A and B are shown apart, each in its own frame.
Chain A
Amino acid sequence: MMDKALEVLERRLSRQLAASLETCVRCGICADSCHYYLADPRPEHVPAYRAELLRRIYRRHHDPVGRLFPGLVRARELDDELAEELIKSAYGTCTMCRRCVLNCPMGVDNGLIVRTARGMLAALGRVPKGLQDTVDVHLESGNNMAVSEEDFVETLEWLEEQLQDEVDDPEARIPVNQAGARVLYTLNPREAKYYPLTILAAAKVFYAAGESWTLSTRAWDVTNYALFNGDDEAAREIAGWLAQEAAELGVEEVVMAECGHGFRAFRWEGENWLGRSYAAPVRGFVELVAEYIRTGRIKLDPAQNPEPVTYHDPCNQARNGGILEEPRYILKHAVADFREMHPHGRENFCCGGGGGMMAMGEFAEGRLAAGRVKAEQIRATGAKVVATSCHNCLDQITELSKHYDLGIKVLNLCEVVAEAIILPGDRQ
């Protein structure tokens, strides 16, 4: 019955994974790098403990000592009881933020271990329902919220009118399916469904920069929740759609909307899932906007954002994606009073909304409790606005604001930029 899970372990057992499984000395120094442990210092919240659950199975199958003397190294077979513990641990108390990885003196990649455990559980059909549904809907409809093409196009047409009003230019466009455009821009379905103004904000930035860009109605969803459910087959299929669309449109680059996990999934993992390189390079919207500012393609007026602003680094863009300087560069040009959280950048704490947590209602209580670390970081800055670059972070921090009474506004970075932008006609 557990064979499928063990097959996943065998298939994914690379030297990288084996090194992480072999090297941990259980020193426990990783404990307080985890927001779950800081919020509730239980042994099960120590990152090494989570990894240890998979390690027990690995030892049973790959360590002669584990086979002969399982008691000495706590080797054990995967059974129902251990699978249940893995579900609670790998899905319920880990956001795969990999802060513990950066803090491990040995270089153990607990994130890789947890994702492997998730992949094994996915093979058993034991992914928490909300998360699995998100992946299934994506596979069935082409985007994770089942937005129909008709609705999508209607929304874009309405937004185009809004853009024309806002920039006072009847020629302003939100281009769709334009072969040969320089940039293929992707969206989070939440934008199309609930937050269309973030699409408008991005469109305004592209307009001001005079960019040659397009959206696609065939493959436009930036998200890929298979990064989180651990199912590589699904992840490969989803990443493949976008890669194919970019190739067919012949764009020079794919620019990912502000979505932390979507960026990590497509920018860093997608080519490995597909086993081949993309035709066009991939960048985050934040990287592109920083370039626009640096090269003078857009001008910003920081006085338009007078309130104190802090920035929350999405783990999947910063620690797992290297986007560290660009958001700060942008905010220093876009707001009057920028305040750093401590720690920040690669050492930033996860807000608690990563790892697919926002889709798993059964773990919401723990998610909000673990978010206390982030809430305290935000409160300490005295900022009134938290800018971020990820929809899951945005949702989680908005919930944290209510739960911990922070009294803050949470915005995606593109909204902050759009507010400060000086349109070409106004530059005189």
Chain B
Amino acid sequence: MEALRLGVILAAGVCLVGLWLRLRHFLSLPLARDLSRARGSARRGARYALTLGMMPWAKESTRKHALSYIRGVVFHLGIFAALVALVAALSGARPVGGSLLLAEVLVGAGLVAGIIGLLERLARPDLRALSTADDYVAVLVMDLVLLAALAWLRDPAAVGWFYALAIAMLVYIPLGKIRHCIFFFPARIFFGRHFGHRGVLPPAVGGGEAR
């Protein structure tokens, strides 16, 4: 078991180095500066993009597909909870009482959301056409980690599976699309700054809105 535990720590190192290399490539690229005169505020736009702009009511797409969006949020909450559980397992701690129940609910709900996501991708022709093998592998790996985390939360004897799958996940993160975990933030900030600079976001109260 100790070998698997060390394997997780080693895989976490591989993950961080992989993400760092990705980030280094990204930071080596030029930052396109906008020389046009501002109509609004890039800073306010970025703040909006990372806060209220993420709310399900902020965009037509998430208003129309609220269930899908919420499914995605639940999936990600489950992943964060599983990562916290992994840190707990590595440090020899174990949630009890209310914390255990909360972790089980979050991880369990995340697992259900992840499985639905995978099935949806397999079932919908437009999503299948869009998808690469990585799209299936990434969600499958995360679903398996969620399953193993849930198993460990319910029975400490499952820790070996939890560690083994965590190693697979950590090694895969910088290779596949899960690396959006680092690119999401600059993408949202660029989006917010761009539309904020042009005075398009954040929406003015009562101004030009769709609803």
Interface residues of A (CB under 8 A from B): 13-20, 22-33, 41-44, 46, 48-49, 52, 62, 65, 71-74, 101-109, 267-272, 275-277, 281-282, 313, 318-322, 324-325, 328, 342-348
In the complex, A263 Cα to B187 Cα: how many Å? Answer: 26
Residues on the A chain within 8 Å of B210, using CB: 342-348
Q: Are A29 and B191 in contact (CB under 8 A)?
A: no
Secondary structure dominating the interface of B: helix
**A residues within 8 A CB of B190?**
15-16, 19-20, 107, 109
B38 to chain A, nearest CB (A): 10
Q: How many residues on the B side are at the interface (Cβ–Cβ under 8 A)?
A: 66
Flag if A20 contacts B208 (CB, 8 Å): no
Give bound CA distance, A274 to B20, whole Å. 34
Q: Is B35 an interface residue (CB 8 A)?
A: yes
Given A322-B200, A346-B200, answer yes or no on A20-B130 (Cβ-Cβ < 8 Å).
no
Most buried by A among B22, B191, B211: B191
Q: CB distance B60 to A33 under 8 Å?
A: yes
- A324 contacts B54, CB within 8 Å? no
Question: Who on chain A is nearest to B39 by CB?
Answer: A322
Contacts of A24 in B (CB 8 A): 180
| B132 adjacent to A344 (CB under 8 Å) | no
Tell me whether A29 and B186 are in contact (CB under 8 A).
Answer: no
Contact with A along B37-59 (1 / 0, CB 8 A): 10110000000010000100001
Q: Quick check: A344 and B59 within 8 Å, CB to CB?
A: no
Q: Mark B15-38, 1 if CB is under 8 A from A, else 0.
A: 000000010011101111111110
Interface string of B178-205 (1 = CB under 8 A from A): 0110011011111110110011110110
Chain B residues, Cβ within 8 Å of A26: 127, 130-132, 135, 177
Sample of 4 more A-B contacts, CB < 8 Å, known A104-B191, A105-B59, A322-B199: A15-B31, A28-B127, A49-B130, A272-B35
Residues of A within 8 A of B188 (CB): 106-107
B184 engages A322 (CB within 8 Å): no
> Is A345 a contact partner of B208 (Cβ separation < 8 A)?
yes
Q: How far is the CA of A318 from the CA of B125 in the complex (A)?
A: 33
CA distance A345 to B32 in the complex (A): 27
Q: Are A272 and B32 in contact (CB under 8 A)?
A: yes
Contact (Cβ within 8 A) A103 B60:
yes
CA A151 to CA B95, docked complex, whole Å: 83
A–B pairs, 13, beta carbons within 8 Å = A15-B186, A17-B32, A18-B26, A43-B130, A102-B200, A105-B54, A106-B180, A272-B32, A275-B35, A322-B40, A324-B204, A347-B209, A347-B210
The answer to whether B61 touches A29 (Cβ under 8 A) is yes
Do A345 and B209 touch across chains, with their CB atoms under 8 A apart? yes
Min C-beta distance of B40 to chain A, whole Å: 6
> Once the chains bind, are A271 and B36 in contact (CB under 8 Å)?
yes
Contact segment of B5-13, B62-70, B100-108: B62-70
Q: Is B119 an interface residue (CB 8 A)?
A: no
Where the two chains meet, the residues of B that have a C-beta atom closer than 8 Å to any C-beta of A are 22, 25-27, 29-37, 39-40, 49, 54, 59-62, 64-65, 68-69, 72, 124-135, 137, 175-177, 179-180, 183-184, 186-192, 194-195, 198-201, 203-204, 207-211
Q: What chain A residues lie within 8 Å of B186 (beta carbons)?
A: 15, 19
Distance of A277 Cα from B188 Cα, bound (Å):
26
In the complex the two chains form, what is the Cα distance from A73 to B174 in whole Å? Answer: 13
Expressed in whole angstroms, the minimum distance between the Cβ of B133 and any Cβ of chain A is 5
Chain B residue numbers with a CB within 8 Å of A313 are 208
Q: In the complex where A22-B183, A26-B135, A272-B34 touch, is A328 in contact with B208 (Cβ < 8 A)?
A: yes
In Å, the complex CA distance between A29 and B132 comes to 17
User: For B39, what are the chain A residues with a Cβ–Cβ distance below 8 Å?
Assistant: 322
A322 to B83, CA, bound (A): 41
Residues of chain B within 8 A of A269, CB atoms compared: 36
Shortest CB–CB separation between residue A358 and chain B, in angstroms?
Answer: 24
Interface centre among A18, A33, A48 (most CB of B within 10 A): A18
Complex CA distance for A32 and B62, rounded to whole angstroms: 11
Residue of B nearest to A274 (CB): B35
Instruction: Establish whether residues B208 and A105, one from each chain, have CB atoms under 8 Å apart when the complex forms.
Output: no
Contact: A52 with B208, CB < 8 Å?
no
Given contacts A103-B61, A105-B61, A325-B208, contact A62 B180 (CB under 8 A): no
Cβ B200 vs Cβ A19 within 8 A: no
Q: Specify which of A74, A107, A343 is in contact with B60 (CB 8 Å cutoff).
A: A343
Known contacts A13-B29, A272-B35; is-contact A72 B209 (Cβ 8 Å): no
Contact of B37 among A31, A65, A281, A346 (CB under 8 A): A281
Once the chains bind, are A73 and B191 in contact (CB under 8 Å)? no
Q: Chain A contacts of B176 at CB under 8 A?
A: 65, 72-73
User: Which B residues lie within 8 Å of A342 (CB)?
Assistant: 210
Q: Which residues of chain B are near A28, meaning CB under 8 Å? A: 124, 126-127, 130
Contact between B29 and A73, CB atoms less than 8 A apart: no
Name the residue of chain A whose CB is nearest to the CB of B68.
A29
B26, B27, B192: which contacts A107 (Cβ < 8 A)?
Answer: B192
Contact call B199/A43, Cβ cutoff below 8 A = no
Q: A28: nearest residue on chain B (CB-CB)?
A: B127
Q: How far, in whole Å, are A267 and B200 apart by their CA atoms in the complex?
A: 14
**Of B72, B128, B137, the contact of A72 (CB 8 Å cutoff):** B137
Task: Please indicate the chain A residues that have their CB under 8 angstroms from the CB of B187 in the complex.
Answer: 19-20, 22-23, 106-108
> In the complex, A118→B128 CA distance in Å?
25
